[in-house]
Structure 1
Amino acid sequence: MQTADDERGKGFLQAFGAYGLWGVLVLYFAMLDPSSPIEIIGWRILFSIAVALVLLAVQRRLGSLWRLITQPRIAGTFAVAGVLIAGNWLTFVFTVSSGNALEATLGYFINPLVAVILGMVFLGERLRPVQWLAVGIAVVAVIVLTIELGRLPLAGLILALSFGLYGLVKKRVSGRVPVLEGFTLETLLISPIALVCLAWAALAGGGIAFGQVSALHTTLLALAGVVTSVPLLLYGSAAKHLSLVELGLMQYLAPSIMFVVSVLVLGEAMPPERWIGFGLVWLALVFFTADALHTGAKGRRAKRLTKIDVTALD
């Protein structure tokens, strides 16, 4: 029987695997050229469905999936989640394919701050002073990067907002739906999007590249389902074993790896103005993380004191 420490250790390994894989995906998608982002997303959805259904069949859990499909409220929630994650991946692949991987990196760096704002807007949560400071610094960073780019870093903002909303929607059903069934359902419900993407790529996007370029390209494209499904499944499982603070701290691993790959491997330029912009983002995250750690420690102390008081009364 596994102890609580064993479960937490397992959760850390799963989170490390999820964020590590997400971090190197910029390199993976850059290797899928000349497939268009539309084609990549189409295959990604279809191959993800295949992988998930095989896993459910092997574990004899297809009946559990059918029970979820027949519940309109749950199915509707996962349909919304599926559309959000499909939009997130389409934006990500398009941004990387167009040579702007650093902009995608920016989106995932500011995602925790966007999640805090979404919590305030949709869940009625109040921002603490340090959180307001972190958000303010992030806004200044976006302004600096807008001036440097000559345009609003729209792709980065869309990535942060769509993933934040995805997490918000999934929060409504977390704990009630098994990770694999939930992932299969949300992917299955957006299969029409995959068909539309592939039809668009074939008729108006320059044609389907799958099976037309090389054996390596075909293999990499066929693995899109596995490569993008595994980190989502690992993340969903890790969320059951780790606190939100622990998950939030590990979240910075993915964009940090993306940043290194974008600059050192893909050779994207980092002029001084861009360093300033990213530096401000990192400063905002320092304040945000310090506040989260302080608040978490204070909460744990309060729980211990309450437990001591109750024990004393007994």
Structure 2
Amino acid sequence: MSTAPPVPDRVTGSGLAFALSAYLLWGVLPLAFVLLIPSGPVEIVAWRIVFSLVFCALLLTVTRGWQRFAALARDRRVVLTLAIAAVFILVNWSVFIAATLTGHVVEASLGYFTNPIVTVLLGVLVLRERLRPLQWLAVGISAIAVLVLAIGYGAFPWIALSLAASFGLYGLVKKQVGPKVDAIGGLTMETLVLSPLAVVALVFVQVTVGLTIGTESPLHTAVMLSVGAITAIPLLLFAAAARRLPLVYLGLVQYIAPVLQLIIGVWILGEAMPLERWIGFGIVWLALAILTVDVIRHRSRSDLPAVEPEP
């Protein structure tokens, strides 16, 4: 039986199906967290860590991946790198869930729209990469968008930029381990590192205001118990897509998630979207269009904006 790696598909095929599934699930994620009200963000993030670890442990058992994970755990450099990544993913999860629970899904979607541009900027600041003219133009236009949105929101869009920065830094750190770490093993180690903090957070919540899990409706309990699977399944779908789909197309599909989040925020959750915000989003989309044109013109893997899974 052949064990050769799958050959990347073209625009259609299983790779596109996996990518669409992953980003569709990430796009509707706010609806799941809205169902967890009245739970607070600290409790939700803590349970997300704990149940993600449990779900990954089950996956490692089913796929007989414990030996591979043990080899990963013996590599101190990889473990340290994943611990740093865990810090960034913790920030990202916390900001995203807090934004969702407080009626800022639209601003959260902006964070994932701007993530590719922030990733390009991190390449300059951290990796000392040189940008092409169109990339500089996209970054400049994005700076104008931030100014317009700050005026439109009446405050600095810190939620969007925090999400974009933490997500970009997470991807930057994860690139340092590259193919050494598979999707299940990486998430297992990251949640394992964060689990003591999650336990402390759950104890704190119980002592102060009381845990809500099991005290609300059956739907609330079911969704809370599912946050581990909700976290891991899109990640695994993304990993499968990345093995089968050329990165240039994977990079384009990623915009499905923030588009869905924007739709959910405006038309389902009824968040305000005045003209100033539409103008700001429009400027961001112009920058993304310019960046996309540049990416399509330079398809080499080293030139593509990093595409990492959503927290």
Contact in 1 for aligned 2:9/2:244 (Cα 8 Å): no
SS of aligned partner of 2:180:
coil
Shift of 1:226: 0.5
Shift of 1:65: 1.2
Residue in 2 that maps onto 1:304: none
Give deviations 1:181-217, integer Å, cap 9, x for gaps. Answer: 122111211111211221232233x221100011111
Task: Give the number of the structure whose alpha-carbon radius of gyration is greater.
Answer: 1
Which of residues 175, 180, 183 is equivalent to 1:179?
183
Matched, 1:192 2:196: yes
Percent identity, please.
47
- In the alignment, residue 22 of structure 1 is paired with which amino acid? W
Which of residues 102, 111, 127 is equivalent to 1:98?
102
**After superposition, where does 1:101-120 map in structure 2 within 5 Å?**
101-120=105-124
Counterparts of 2:17 and 2:149 in 1: how far apart (Å)? 34
Give deviations 1:4-58, integer Å, cap 9, x for gaps. Answer: 2559833222221111111001111111100001000111111111111011111
Residue in 2 that maps onto 1:312: none
Equivalent pairs counted in the alignment come to 297
- Structure 2-normalised TM-score? 0.91
Shift of 1:93: 0.2
Counterparts of 2:236 and 2:89 in 1: how far apart (Å)? 13
SS of aligned partner of 1:189:
helix
Give deviations 1:104-128, integer Å, cap 9, x for gaps. Answer: 0110000000000111122221111
Counterparts of 1:23 and 1:222 in 2: how far apart (Å)? 20
Q: Which has the higher helix share?
A: 1
- In the alignment, residue 173 of structure 1 is paired with which amino acid? V
Give deviations 1:255-306, integer Å, cap 9, x for gaps. Answer: 0111111111111111111111111111111111111112229x9xxxxxxx
Residue in 2 that maps onto 1:310: none
Comparing 231-240 with 101-110, greater Cα deviation is found at: 231-240
Contact in 2 for aligned 1:45/1:225 (Cα 8 Å): yes
Shift of 1:166: 0.7
Contact in 2 for aligned 1:41/1:197 (Cα 8 Å): no
- In the alignment, residue 70 of structure 1 is paired with which amino acid? R
Residue in 2 that maps onto 1:157: 161
Matched, 1:130 2:134: yes
Residue in 2 that maps onto 1:144: 148
SS of aligned partner of 1:47:
helix
Residue in 1 that maps onto 2:46: 42
Contact in 2 for aligned 1:183/1:233 (Cα 8 Å): no
Which of residues 65, 71, 95 is equivalent to 1:61?
65
Matched, 1:291 2:294: yes
Contact in 2 for aligned 1:36/1:201 (Cα 8 Å): no
Matched, 1:255 2:270: no
What is the aligned-residue RMSD (CA, Å)? Answer: 1.8
- Structure 1-normalised TM-score? 0.90
Q: Any unmatched runs of 5+ in structure 1? A: 300-314
